[in-house]
Amino acid sequence: MAENSQIAKEIIEAVGGQENILSAAHCATRLRIMIKDKEKIDQQRVEDIEKVKGAFFNSGQYQVILGTGTVNKIYDEVIRLGVGGSTKSDQAKEAAQSGNTFQRAIRSFGDVFVPIIPALVATGLFMGLRGLVMQEQILALFGLSPDNISQNFILFTQVLTDTAFIFLPALVAWSTFRVFGGTPIIGLVLGLMLVSPALPNAWNVAGGSAEPILFLGFLPVVGYQGSVLPAFIAGIVGAKLEQMIRKRVPDTLDLVVTPFLTLLIMISLALFVIGPVFHTVENLILDATVAVLKWPFGISGFLIGFLNQIIVITGVHHVFNMLEISLLEKLGNNPYNAIVTAAVAAQGGATLAVGLKTKSKKLRALALPSSLSAFLGITEPAIFGVNLRYGKPFLMGLIGGGVGGFFASIFGLKATGMAITVIPGTLLYLNGQILLYLLVNIIAIAIAFVLTWLFGFSDKQLKDNR
């Protein structure tokens, strides 16, 4: 097995040498390289390098899939060999100049919501664990019933499960300011103002136990607990406003005047204009999403399950982060996750079939770990390293995802969180649905595996793909 230093050297040479590399960074699974001239890249040579599971251009970067853990070691070797290092955010700024307006907008959308997801993943796991321990059958094992649970324990679980959603506008505004060039702490304070205890709580107003404050006798104002879109729009406008003010304020007054004017103007706009308008828009989007998810006969499950991984390839899937967050906040559950997990599992099933059927040791060594990665919720090695390369396995994975999504919809599966799928995703279904969840995954994997084995792959494609 080649040493990581040798693999790093081969990657550098295959992409055109150090003189063709602007900078390198990495994420959880991919080495991200900013390239001067992509015509100098030898794609086949890159893909033939040991430990490389695929490579492609995305978001203005050449991304080499290496897998969790491995990518960190090879990145260190790349930097040691003299390539300039860069952070993901720095590369994102460089890459932002590439692509059309729609692509740049989608990229910015993802940059805002991706950093928030870990907090919501943890919250979803807390919800799942609370659902598990509060089930009568589980409590009975310890000789308890729901009536025996103390209020203090329930209060403790509410701190774990409710905090991220109560202060969600603060998280969104902070991240939006960060992405759009504002001062993140100003965005954080603006978001906290939207959920200030001085304002009527949005959930209490919705429940009828509180009334909105009427400004000027006709402008109703409430808090925006759990809202996403108002904080997002306020963050964009606020970041641009801060930049505009900072350019016009003398340096000696900047520390005081810029944050003062930014917060004063933005909280006024957010409470009286942006909040009411975009909260209404957010509710309309959510209502439309729920209506689609409720289509009869599992139609929505099949369509979403089939199309999901196609959307992932384009990078547009980040748009759905906001929808999942809204579903969790408004409904307390996430039916979208159950459909998506079938799509992810199916790609793993297709890759597993390729790995077990091929006689090529190199392809088997690539496919089997890639299928495991997909079963852990990361499909990039499977899709770009195997399934898309040979075409038909990807299609069979789409079919498996559609069938699995169909059953997820028919069974009415609803996750307690978001962002984790397949094996880790079981933690989101401890609310009494775990057996149905496992069944949906098994169906998706089996359909994709059988179709790929029978119709989707043969070693003849190895020669044809050269």
Q: Give the strand pairing for 213-215 and 61-65.
A: unpaired
Alpha-carbon distances of 356 from 373, 390, 446, 450, rounded to whole Å: 16, 15, 14, 12
- Identify whether the C-beta of residue 245 lies closer than 8 Å to the C-beta of residue 257: yes
27 is catalytic: yes
What is the DSSP code (8-state) at residue 273? I
Q: Which of 5, 13, 27, 391 is catalytic?
A: 27
Instruction: Please give the biggest Cα pair distance in the chain.
Output: 77
DSSP secondary structure, 176-201, as one string? HHHHTTS-HHHHHHHHHHHT-TTSPP
Compute CA distances 168 → 85, 165, 199, 229, 272, whole Å: 33, 5, 16, 11, 19
Residue 416 DSSP symbol: S
Asked if residues 384 and 56 have their Cβ atoms less than 8 Å apart, the reply is yes
Classify burial at 458, counting beta carbons within 10 Å of its beta carbon; exposed 0-12, middle 13-18, buried 19 or more.
middle
Report helix angle 168-179 to 229-248, nearest 10. 40
Distance CA 210, CA 176 (A): 30
Q: Which residues are catalytic?
A: 27
